[in-house]
Amino acid sequence: MFKDVFRYYKSRNPPPELTKVLDFDNVDTLESKIKRVTIKDIHDLKNYGLQPAKTWEAYELIEHPGLIFIKNPFSSIGQRYWTVRCLQDYTKRPNKTNLDSFKLVPEGKEWWDVCQNNHDKLLLNKLRWVTLGYHHDWDTKIYSEDNKGEFPKDLSELSRHVAQALDFNFNAEAAIVNFYHMDSTLSGHTDHSEQNLEAPLLSFSFGQTAIFLLGGKTKEDAPTAVFIRSGDIVVMSQDSRLCYHGVPKILQMDSRFWDCFNQNNLVNKEFREVVHICKEETLWKPFADYLNSSRINVNVRQVLKRGQKRLCSESEDKK
């Protein structure tokens, strides 16, 4: 079932009918399908590019308890900030990327700089993922203490604040940053590698719009399709945490949220240079160009259980 719906939305010829895709830009049409979620008032959000919590609109899908959708709570400069961090900073070594094994980026150089300096669009489009913190192992799907980097403090704080606003305790310990182009897809899967499966999974998106499919615990359950636009946050918690999900299609955006630029203040003292890039149109331009035909998704997970200090190795597990 999941596969059939995936194939339907992925199809170019004929293109899919989009009327059944849940659209949080038109919540009036979703009345029977969603319920409003209460947001706790959290302070200091502007440091992370977020609007005041009392302005957020968050909804839970009635048919998928625990799936929470927060309609873009970012300011436009906030969207710019996270875009710059993902492209320019999180792609730096020792974080891991899909490009590592191809040795396409010379030692001592960084992917974003090489792409910009050489106008290398091919290399730009080859980046598909970056992993942060406990690195996702794409083969074994097992996290390990031996395969772990530092988790970015700003992303950890952003995640903690968003989780707190929804009344969750959350410690960001692993993330996959996914980079999609107009023909990219992500097939249906569940995220079950984390030892803590009670903690929610937080997903931040910037750039082009995605059709996101959320199914049930098996591939036989029919999925619901939802538009995810730039700035939207999806939280998979409770009954939805282990459900099948995927992205069958990326669509050209409805509007460029990151360009509705007012000098809304973003004060991040630790990353002044990033904020400077966001405010200077000429410095921001290469990032805007990237977003015009791509989507960035930052998928953040807690790996350890509360109070757990480290992962046990498999042999320790068996004791």
Ligand X SMILES: O=C(O)CCC(=O)C(=O)O
What is the radius of gyration, based on Cα positions, of the chain?
19
- Residues with Cβ within 8 Å of residue 259, at least 6 apart in sequence: 76, 288
22 binds ligand X (CB under 6 A): no
First-last CA distance in the chain: 40
Nearer to ligand X, 53 or 210 (CB): 210
DSSP code for 98: T
For ligand X, give the closer residue by CB, 228 or 304: 228
String of contacts with ligand X for each residue 233-262, x by CB under 6 A: ------------x-x---------------
Residue type, 130: V
Q: How far is CA 96 from CA 5, 22, 73, 280, in A?
A: 32, 34, 29, 29
**Cα separation of 214 and 233, whole Å?**
14
Of 146-154, 204-212, 255-263, 304-312, the window that binds ligand X (rule: CB under 6 A) is 204-212
Count residues contacting ligand X (CB under 6 A)? 13
Q: Which stretch binds ligand X (CB under 6 A): 12-20, 53-61, 115-123, 205-213?
A: 205-213
Question: Shortest approach of ligand X to residue 190 CB, angstroms?
Answer: 9
191 binds ligand X per the rule CB under 6 A = yes
For residue 186, state whether it binds ligand X (rule: CB under 6 A). yes
| Contact between 297 and ligand X per CB under 6 A | yes
Quote the longest CA-to-CA distance of the chain: 58
Say which residue the tokens 């331009």 belong to: 285
Residues that bind ligand X (CB under 6 A): 176, 178, 186, 191, 203, 205, 210, 212, 228, 245, 247, 297, 299
